[in-house]
Amino acid sequence: MAEYSAYHRRSVEQPQEFWAEKAALIDWHRPFDRVLDAGRKPFAAWFPGGLTNLCHNAVDRHLATRGAQPALVWESTEVDRSRSYSYAELHQEVQRMAAILLRHGVGQGDRVLIYMPMIPEAVFAMLACVRIGAIHSVVFGGFAALSLATRIDDATPKMVISSDAGSRAGRVVPYKPLLDEAIERATHKPGHVLMVDRGLQPFTPLPGRDLDYAAERAAVGDREVPCAWVEATHPSYILYTSGTTGRPKGVQRDTGGYAVALATSMRDIFCGSPGGTYFCTSDIGWVVGHSYIVYGPLIHGMTTVLYEGTPVRPDAGILWRLAEKHRAQVMFSSPTAVRVLKRFDTAFMRERDLSSLERLFLAGEPLDEPTASWIAEALGKPVVDNYWQTETGWPILGIPAGVQALEPKPGSPGVAMPGYKVGILDELSGEPVPPGQKGVLAIEWPLPPGCMQTVWGDDKRFVDTYWSTFATRQVYSTFDWGVADERGYVTILGRTDDVINVAGHRLGTREIEESISSHAAVAEVAVVGAADELKGQQAVAFVVPRDATRAASAEARAELAAQIMQTVQAQLGAVARPARVLFVSMLPKTRSGKLLRRSIQALCEQRAPGDLTTLEDPTALEQIRGALVSQP
């Protein structure tokens, strides 16, 4: 591991030199005075004094060499359309959008809330904002009115950019009524709502407030809008964490550090080639979409694919057909998406010519070994897990194949990425624990470039939430459990609030889930701890079988449940054996595909499931409720 070790050591021991070098990967209008301003710990200001612009780095600087290369390719299986924009065309569309913003008084530092489906105009809007120094806040399209209202009040946008509707699995999801209701509920009122009318759902514009994008676009014509040079520390965007565990936090990101971090990651982690195609199946509403649909690939001069649709419609081969069609070099998806595909035939992948594809990256949730090897085998390509958070904006753990092609370790996302001084700390003392021992995954100050600057509008919450876990030392807590081995590979054992205490034994839900997933009949599983009078807590498992007939009768369920319990007992011991194994056909997840364990746990304990605004499909919770009652 010599090359990687030297690289990583330098990144954390000589961060100034390391990041000064990486800063050369992007364009600066004025060089920075210093690499890092350490004057306000635990805050970190990267590249102070430097002037740059994200849109310039993502679009304008490529015009001379890549003007005709496709920059943005849009594919929609929802409305059966596709479109491609070259860098020159993207430049033009972004300027038009920027001209519309300027025309209606949006300026540097103003917030613009983007509530959009996965259409090219959403990308134009993001790039247009950063072009003029406005701060975007993308809210996942179709989010409930209440979630949207709290985000409007938190970011106080001058303008909202939206659309008549999105579409999900072939059904139109009207956005306008949700948006109108959200603005109605919110205390803050945006001055204008710019509506991109897709013709999916008729609506009545509100005179004086609502603007029509097509008319505005025609009115601004081909006006040139130069990039506004902003301080490297100028906020580029606010993005709320997905809200799996509580009140959403507005993660505030800078400009210069973010561009440098993404450029670094594109080379050292994702190994993309300028001119190649990057296909990330996430949504622009999530951090993965911000970093690896929009900014990362474009900064790196790649072609990025924006996909509106699901992985299984019209059939389970769609992602691979698109990868073949656009000759994707790098793909990025989530374990959830792969687990959905696992229920289908691998012929969907084998039939495609994926010779251009080098690696499939997966992030967002623990990647269990069976799922990883299933997809790796079906594709015949390396599958690379990577671990990060909305807060960090780019991977904390992974395999830096661009530096050294380290062997991946099953069940582990990998080793620390550059600039991250990762520690596994004892939850009480805050002292580092030896390899092989479980602890809280923490990061020492400073967080590297690209990570959150603060909680939007609430510096105190930033310090209190992230930097105050341990009395003895001020470190950033990820709130995830981890265990490192001698070589520095870290395995994530779940969130610190997802620990089950069975008769004094503390067990990570992740460990039990991993064990259950190793049973061949299991497609997906969620394990929660439910209060138990005798043992404190007991583990309850909700299993989605790969083949529904395995849970079709009481006898079949009892048989499979017994096998699953036996599997866990054999692998982890009797304490970890779930007290109940119940069967459902889907699990409750957030719209970003994360298990809503706290709601499942609440139902197990006969409590109210809590805030459900981020829940993807309410019937999944009904199934949990039903299983608890009908299955012994």
Residues forming the site for ligand ATP (CB under 6 A): 241-246, 248, 363-367, 385-390, 413, 478, 480, 492, 495, 592, 594
Q: Which is nearer to ligand ATP, 244 or 623 (CB)?
A: 244
3-class DSSP assignment, residue 610: coil
The owner of tokens 């990101």 is 253
List 544's β-bridge partners, or say none. Answer: 524
For the CB of residue 487, give the shortest distance to ligand ATP in the complex, in Å: 18
Task: Tokens for 204, please give them.
Answer: 């009545």
3-class DSSP assignment, residue 496: coil
Q: Which is nearer to ligand ATP, 478 or 623 (CB)?
A: 478
For the CB of residue 580, give the shortest distance to ligand ATP in the complex, in Å: 25
In angstroms, the Cα distances linking 205 to 85, 177, 220, 372 are: 29, 11, 20, 48
520, with CB counted inside 10 A (0-12, 13-18, 19+), is exposed
CB distance 573 to 581 below 8 Å: no
Beta pairing class for 383-386 and 359-363: parallel
CB distance 351 to 323 below 8 Å: no
For the CB of residue 362, give the shortest distance to ligand ATP in the complex, in Å: 7
For the CB of residue 477, give the shortest distance to ligand ATP in the complex, in Å: 10
Task: Tokens for 585, please give them.
Answer: 């056909």
Q: Rounded to an integer, what distance in angstroms lies between the CA atom of residue 366 and that of residue 494?
A: 8
Task: Tokens for 555, please give them.
Answer: 């006898």
Q: Which is nearer to ligand ATP, 19 or 361 (CB)?
A: 361
For the CB of residue 236, give the shortest distance to ligand ATP in the complex, in Å: 17
Q: Which is nearer to ligand ATP, 167 or 477 (CB)?
A: 477
H-helix or E-strand spanning residue 468 = none
For the CB of residue 72, give the shortest distance to ligand ATP in the complex, in Å: 24
Q: Which is nearer to ligand ATP, 248 or 257 (CB)?
A: 248
Task: Tokens for 570, please give them.
Answer: 């054999």
For the CB of residue 288, give the shortest distance to ligand ATP in the complex, in Å: 8
Q: Which is nearer to ligand ATP, 119 or 596 (CB)?
A: 596
Q: Rounded to an integer, what distance in angstroms lies between the CA atom of residue 546 and that of residue 560?
A: 12
Q: Which is nearer to ligand ATP, 254 or 391 (CB)?
A: 391
Among 133, 160, 127, residue whose Cα is nearest residue 304: 127
Q: Which is nearer to ligand ATP, 245 or 613 (CB)?
A: 245
Q: Which is nearer to ligand ATP, 27 or 611 (CB)?
A: 611
For the CB of residue 292, give the shortest distance to ligand ATP in the complex, in Å: 13
Q: Which is nearer to ligand ATP, 300 or 597 (CB)?
A: 597
Which residues neighbour 111 within 8 Å (Cβ) at sequence distance 6 or greater? 134, 135, 136, 137, 155, 156, 157, 158, 238
CB distance 132 to 112 below 8 Å: no
For the CB of residue 423, give the shortest distance to ligand ATP in the complex, in Å: 16
Q: Rounded to an integer, what distance in angstroms lies between the CA atom of residue 66 and that of residue 369?
A: 40
Q: In this structure, what is the dihedral angle of CA atoms 388, 301, 126, 168, given to the nearest 10 degrees?
A: -70
For the CB of residue 57, give the shortest distance to ligand ATP in the complex, in Å: 24
Start-to-end CA span in the chain (Å): 51
